[in-house]
Structure 1
Amino acid sequence: MSIRLADRLDSARRRSFVGREHELAAFRDLLDPAAAGQILLVHGAGGVGKTALLHQYAWLARTAGRRVVWLDGHELAPGPEAVTRALAESLGLTGNPLACLGDVPGLVLLVDTAELLVPLEPWLRRELIPALGADAIVVLAGRERPSPVWRVDAGWRELVGVVALGNLSYHEGCALLGLRGVPEEERRPALEFTHGHPLALALVADVSAQRRFSAGATHEVMAALLKSFVDTVPSPLHHQALEACALVLATTEPLLAALLDLPDAGELFAWLRDLSIVEYGSRGLSPHDLAREALEAELRWRDPDGCAQIRHRAAAYYRQQFAGAAPVARQSILLDFVYLHRDTSVLGPFVSEVPGTADLTTGRPTTAELDTIVSWVRKHEGEESARLCELWLHRQPSSATVVRTPSGEAVGFYQLIVAERQVADPAMAGLPDAGEVRMVRFWMDGQTHQRPSPTHMFITTHLCRSYLTSPSPEVTLLTFAEAEPWQEACAYLDFHRMPEADFQVGGRHFAVFGHDWRTVPPLAWICVLAERDALTGGPVAVLGEQEFAEAVKAALRSYGRADGLRDSALLGSTMVNAAAGEAGDPAGAQRALRDILQETAARMEASPRDRRAYRALHHTFLHPASTQADAAELLGLPMSTFRRHLAAGEARFTELLWQRELDSRGGQPMGGN
């Protein structure tokens, strides 16, 4: 029997795997033929070894004669259709996959990067996992702690085990470094530097192979190690290959050749595949997320033209592949294309969390929620609209999607229907002359209707993702209770005003916007959005409130250095892009950020309410004294009082900047209906 590359990869992974005895024992228990089906929820920080552990689970399962299916959140759109399609392809199922899964014996479903599939969690609990056979095993591995509902629900509580993955112990870390060839005298400083973080240890080994290693936060460790590693790669071309790999979702050998404009990239691809910071998936090579972030950030400020050139080549490659691809493959290429533009303000939310919406999920409405949906429509749009909503719920039961909080409370919904011209709904009277037309007939936050809110932002992003992950109709229509507030946002998203399709219900006028996918198909639509984003201020970092606060904290501590703001995450924020004006000018962005910080400080100084806190901030960061003790003495304050004022100053400074960021975003969601 010939040996496959996959077999060699499995053998290499087993040889380099150390520790995790408790986690492996928990999985072996599940493989006992007498054990009932069960779910393991694995969580841990980035780079802590979740993927490596899943590979060991896969090997144990195959050795036990089980059928293994591996899904990766990086490679799936966060929708049920994408997951069921991937399962059907892996298992060779035809027809309705959910109806057939129960007939697959000994199934082991491993889901990596599960944090990217958070919107699907209710669907996984209610529909997918219950459809599996009684002896199935499911492992969900992600960065976030499992939702409490897994342990609160009496049924799931008996089936779910939680595995919290931490750093390796000292002895385990020594063993890992030994397996990777790190000399014994270098192991202790390496462990002290990395605190046993597995990915950082693996990168230490790569650095050590080039030169002697000598001696926090994981990101800081990774940045320092990556700098050491990149300085010792075999050639500038290898360096370019690593950076190119960081810019795309998954790298194949032909794609790498296209990114580097080479006739053959076999040797470089093999080198990338052997790196500790690069993972091998079903669609190609991907740097670990922490490594990707550090590499991309460094390339973006160091060589913005080179970064743009790689993206241009990737886009050209995806267009070429898209033209000859089968419909199923086209969905994956679209996701690759969106990922390429993930740092733009309008496309970024398609592949990452939108600030303020991280805990929201979607699902099909329950019977009780159907009544709630109709009551919302009655409240906000009147009795006649409520009757029409009930009509469409009856005709197309799967058309409604409800938005829920972590506690399961319904807070909003949208209804995406396939238009039927014969239905007695005024909205059908002005339909465009096209084949399949889909219309967002109703959508709202249960409390605020169509005014901006986290629920509205979530609905917007969820709909936009669906345009890329579902078979496209010929035309998509959006309905609004008022046209004027949405003109600019819809035009930006290439949804154009269609007054001829407007309609009235119960004496109330509704406005319609539409996008013709025949004229601008999904791939071209992504290009349009990316180009418009570039013309209106360049790449924008879509930071959540907590990420923004951390970036402000780092900026304050770096403010006093001449180039201290060079690497600030705030440089990509909306407020800085709006102030800088000229896209692609790193120096201009740094000046704009410094001006914003100074303006915010001046605002605090001018406010009687903030003046005491400002002074502590001023003498600590803006014009710092030698030590905090000296700053406290300058202000005539006891140290405890000074620290209290300083904490208040940081909090107020962050609050003012966050409000400016929100104002720069225009109070509008990123994307719009």
Structure 2
Amino acid sequence: MGRQRELAAFHDLLDPDGVARVLLVHGAGGVGKTALLHRYAWLAARAERPMVWLDGHELDGVEGLDELDLDADGLVLLVDTVERVPGLDRWLRREVLPRLPADAAVVIAGRDRPAPIWRADPGWRELVRVLPLGNLGHEDGLRLLAVRGVPEEEREAALEFTRGHPLALALVADVSAQRRFSAGSAHEVMGELLRGFVDTVPSPLHRQALEACAQVLATTEPLLEALLGLDDAGELFGWLRGLSIVEYGSRGLFPHDLARDALAAELGWRDPDGCERIRRRAAAYYRRQFTEPSRHSVLLDFVYLHRDTSALGPFVVGYPQTSGLSADRPTRAELGTIVSWVRKHEGDESARLCERWLARHDATVIRGQDGAAVGFYLMIDAVPDPEDPATRDLEPGRVRMVRFWMDGRCYQEPSPVQLFITTHLFRSYLTGDCPDRTLLTFATPEPWAEGCAYVDFARLAAADFTVGDHTFAVFCHDWRQVPPLAWVARLAERDALIEAAPAARRTLGEEEFGQAVREALRAYGKADGLRDSPLLSALDLGERELRALFEDVAAQLAASPRDLKAHRALHHTFLRPARTQADAAALLGLPTTTYRRHLALAESRFTELLWQRLH
């Protein structure tokens, strides 16, 4: 059903004038690899090509395969579930394929990505085409549901739930045959998917690792250690990477979308406290890295944790799909595409102004996985300009305005492209030359007001402007009042996930709490110094989590210009202590009396911020 791209690839494989001789198909369990190979077998028979089918489920090893008759002219060799037989991939590459007839066509299908040697070896590079198999597209998914007898009124909901995953579509069809498919029956489908996705899990700890991976956007080895409270998660990380339902990219591991949904949903109702604990640990891990310039990319991951909050939830729908997007400068042809999008969504006058700005500023185009442009944004230095109502009445100053931004297909509606643009802009605020103010423009203010307020962009109604028949709303952040690092710290303060339970106030009064914090700071530098701290039981935290919380509050001090001196005293005395306090004073270049005054202020501010954070 569908799979036009994959079928075209096989037709090319059968073409005597084609270059590729080997097609390497890979994809997660249940995505339809075997069904695709059956289509290939039918096409081979229709072309009257001799065929040999090997199924890893039916083979005990490569022994005896040398006796296969693979000498027929025009042979089509189809190999399914190659990962089931150790060494089968290597045996095919080294022993079988070199002696096949020149016009043979080979398809090897499995869950795992093909070994790098297929593309690295010059002898294979030109002969091989790698074909990742993903979910069915919208029309193909609807067609499959129709063939399976799912009533028309249930198909859109079923397709949205499954995202086109073939096994999930088949399971939904089975449910629908017994009763009407609804959100209530989704648990049944998800449970079956989990059993299909993961055949065996070696231990409860491996299961925890998989569930933790499903809660965050991308998993690295250090993050996995933080999520599970381990000193070394290398073996677990390697196991996750080998799972067919787990993909990996430059930023870490991430589960297949539907597997993520299934795992996250099951953990959410089976162990809500465990789910919350993982997210709280993830938030603490990200926040500790906000002040490191090389780590600003974790802002994407941090926002993903907010997908269930009322303010940001609607705007992070489809977040995993942003992993296939990238930002680049547009080509000359894409400049015309950009203007056509503006004309379509905002009218002719806006399109004229966009052309004018494109001649003076570089736009940023968003590309999909296939390299095609799917959206863009244009940030300008907004000097007063009588030609454009957006900047005509602006006050002089260093102002940057996101003058145009949109998903080419659905404009400013929530989508993966819209979300990618938002987070890409966030990174620019942290890594670029900081202006006095940044202005964001929206076609309508209502859907964005709460989200903008959450990220500290205030409604600036006086700056609203009209172009043609469209009036645009403007939101503003003043970086002179809240600089980038302080802005990140403010966002972090709003993260409800990191807050400990309010039981701390009931267990320790403010004075007792302050004394416990001071004692914990003095014991922080010792290996087991926090083991007996009353803060552990009061906050229901482990020692590792308490240390993470201390580091997080210290980072908040560092992000505030007025608390920077206090942070330096705290850092050199307790967090990364000098040998003596006299040495710490010398490191800071302070007289002893001044150093002690800074240290007293540091302890007071640290305790105050920690108390505020937890109450």
- State TM-score, norm by structure 1: 0.40
- State TM-score, norm by structure 2: 0.43
Highest RCO, 1 vs 2 (Cα 8 Å, sep ≥ 6): 1
